[in-house]
Structure 1
Amino acid sequence: MSAIRANKHSWAAGKKLVLCSGISAMDYISLVRQFPEQKAHCSLGYWQRSGAASNNCTVLRQLGVPCEFFGMLSSLPMYRLLADDMRSRGIHIEHCPSSAQAPPFASVILAKSTRTRTIVSCSSEFPHVSIEDFRQLDLKLYGWLHMDGICFETTRAMMQQVAEFNAEREDKIILSLELGQELELMWPLVDFCDYVFCSRKLALEQHWPTPECACAQMDEQLRRRRGLNLKRPIVIFRWGAQGAGILEQSGKYSLSAAYKPRKMVDALGAGDTFTAAFIYAIYVRERPLAVAVDFASRLASHKCTKRGFDHVADILRAPVL
């Protein structure tokens, strides 16, 4: 083991597990010269495990962080490679229930000439984990829980259980949320969170044209809330080439600069990389908010320079934190 790798893992020594709850899916990526055209030739094609929570875990493990994926897995033979890949990377999956159905998948077409991508998603009726599954977890094992806002009732019940657990302890679990869709439906989940991550896509769906506007609208909604023991989370809007908007608990807004990739090769999962890198910087390295967001932007940019995620920890060779 190299000194760099040893240091990478020693930074997380003594840290409890990070649990990422969500979906593990399958993508088939096809690289073509041009798309659309009547008959496109694929110069490169490969399968890749996907899903935001699944990707979060992959990046966290590359950074040496002990983590667990919590989501429904498929027991069908052809999809066992999803579980096998996570196990090979040291991602804990022992508490995941399984289903005999096929998991979600997508066909991703990357066009070299236009540097565009087309995603054809299949959102099959694949079941999600239940609150009964979540209650099997020993919450004392976890220091940070990151959840995808994909199934409101179950996610709210899980967050309520974490809140009850935290109420009786000094070493509280940090709770974060990926607020990716159906903002009005998912909004009550914000009340439980320490950190909330949002995408540019979500903001534009709400007709919020800039990071500053998006953060101002979130600030207004947070100030309108009424109730006891409501958390005021830090909100981060990932905004691609424009950087990341930061809304602090005080209501202060700031914009963290983006980093242009040295070479754009593969942007799939860049947002998931940002989130995982932020968790690493805050939880493992205990960096200030602005430094953590800056590092997350750097790592997301670095991820785009090669395919997949196996290279992301290379950035730790430089003293970027």
Structure 2
Amino acid sequence: MLSLGNPSHKNILNFFDIFVNTQSYLAGVKIQKSSKMKKQIVKEFITVKRVLHLPSDPPPPPPPPQRHVLAVGSCTLDMIIIVDKPLVPGQVQRTKEGSWRRGGPAANICTVWRRLGLECEFLGVLSSARAFESLLTSFQSQGIDISNCPLTNHRPAHRSIIVQRNADSRTILEFFNANQELTYQQFVGAVDYQKYSWIHFESRNPVEMKRMIMAVIDFNERCPESRIMLSVDLDNMRPATMLMASMVDYVFARKTMMRTYAFMNGREVVWALRDGMRAARARWEKNQPRKMPYLPPDPPAEDSDEKCNGPPNNQPIVIYNNYVEGASCLMADDTYFKVGSQIPPEIVDRVYVNDTFSASVIYALHKVQMRLRDAVEYGTRAAALKLTAIGFDVLRCMPKDLIGCYYA
């Protein structure tokens, strides 16, 4: 036992008290530091939390929907028969070659677009008959949008195509019904102009087609930033057809026009179309009602350049293709050029060559952004490739640009 009266024991007690006081002081400092650190952490957390919840900028608007191309026309069930000799009335011929395909210029153009990798839509009257189910299925399997097509219960449109072997001639017997033609009201109710950047028309009913084209032109005037390019496929030179064709940007003439109107070459075809469209457009503008009060335009001055400019530059570009002689093109300023022919060593199928050319030129101009001459040459090469096989599946091997065609 230690005695408290001993001075050494007092020193020990004093040292113990000092040690206890020192420990308690240090503990208090630690507690104060810890409390300060906690307050600092809480303060910083509150600051970060406030910063995270500050009002931020509104999110950017969604990108505009991607615009694609539209083909307006017909879809038919084509029964193709290949014969060795021309048919004679009362004669029976048997052949082992023939096929059933989905036809119609507008439907074929959509097929070529999809084979080349271009998003497209078809607009035309389709039949809900059971014989037409395979054609609807083929549209869906190829990825062609037909959601806006009106359906009818009438008999589906069909054609019989008789092709003579080793001859550039064929006979077409087409079933025509007014219920299978697309009307202006159906077109206006189905088309959303903001979705399309190019609309191609098949020349069927020129009166209704002209109203459709005028509706698109009105949209282009209201929204010039979303302008839609227009093109049409021609097979005749009637006045109503010429008036309709004078309002578009590109005119594709079919090969049958040379034989129908006895033209010598493609240059005569494109110039005859240009003259016919100018005459039809002049008659139409002359018969339009004049706005009151009407003031005639002032004649151009003698020293001005208006007299020397020639025809206006709002004329459509006229293109004609014949795989035997090549493609002829007449530009809006009356500049003519020609692209050489592309004839394959062996011709297998001549059906739908014009549709392949038109669709390929539109693809090159719209998707690849080629120059006009390069686009026409690309179309001739695609048509030559189509001649080497039956159908359009061979176009999957078609290069996507003109440079690839040179090395293919």
Shorter-chain TM-score bucket reads 0.7 to 0.9
Q: CA offsets per residue over residues 260-298 of structure 1, 9 Å max, x none?
A: 023211111000000000000000000011110011011
Higher strand share: 1
8 Å CA contact 1:102–1:126 kept in 2: the answer is no
Q: Give 1:173-252 correspondences, 5 Å limit.
A: 173-222=228-277, 225-226=281-282, 227=285, 231-252=314-335
Identity %: 28
Please, which of 94, 102, 113 is the counterpart of residue 147 of structure 2? 94
Gaps of 5+ in 2: 1-64, 289-311
Task: Give SS of 1:212's match.
Answer: helix
Is residue 320 of structure 1 aligned with residue 408 of structure 2?
no
Name the larger-Rg structure.
2
> Which residue number corresponds to residue 227 of structure 2?
172
Looking at both structures, which has the greater relative contact order when contacts are Cα pairs under 8 Å and sequence separation is at least 6?
Answer: 1
8 Å CA contact 2:162–2:172 kept in 1: the answer is yes
Return the letter of the residue paired with 2:209: T
Please, which of 198, 220, 227 is the counterpart of residue 144 of structure 1? 198
Tell which deviates more after alignment, 240-249 or 100-109: 100-109
Alignment TM-score, normalising by the size of structure 1: 0.88
Is residue 67 of structure 1 aligned with residue 120 of structure 2?
yes
> Which residue number corresponds to residue 70 of structure 2?
19
Return the letter of the residue paired with 2:404: P
Residues 188, 33 of structure 1: alpha-carbon distance in 2 compared, 3 angstrom cutoff: closer
> Hey, what's the Cα distance between the residues in 2 that align with 1:182 and 1:124?
22
Q: CA offsets per residue over residues 154-204 of structure 1, 9 Å max, x none?
A: 111111110111112212000001122253221111232110111232244
Return the letter of the residue paired with 1:30: I
Q: CA offsets per residue over residues 66-115 of structure 1, 9 Å max, x none?
A: 10110000111111211111111000101000111122222233444667
Tell which deviates more after alignment, 210-219 or 224-233: 224-233
> Hey, what's the Cα distance between the residues in 1 that align with 2:98 and 2:274?
44
8 Å CA contact 2:126–2:180 kept in 1: the answer is no
> Which residue number corresponds to residue 302 of structure 2?
none
> Hey, what's the Cα distance between the residues in 1 that align with 2:126 and 2:180?
9
CA apart distance, 1:206: 3.4
Residues 215, 113 of structure 1: alpha-carbon distance in 2 compared, 3 angstrom cutoff: closer
Task: Give SS of 1:81's match.
Answer: helix
Aligned length: 308
> Hey, what's the Cα distance between the residues in 2 that align with 1:34 and 1:192?
43
Runs of 4+ in 1 over 6 A off after TM superposition: none
> Hey, what's the Cα distance between the residues in 2 that align with 1:295 and 1:75?
37
Residues 101, 304 of structure 1: alpha-carbon distance in 2 compared, 3 angstrom cutoff: same
Tell which deviates more after alignment, 93-102 or 202-211: 202-211
Higher helix share: 2
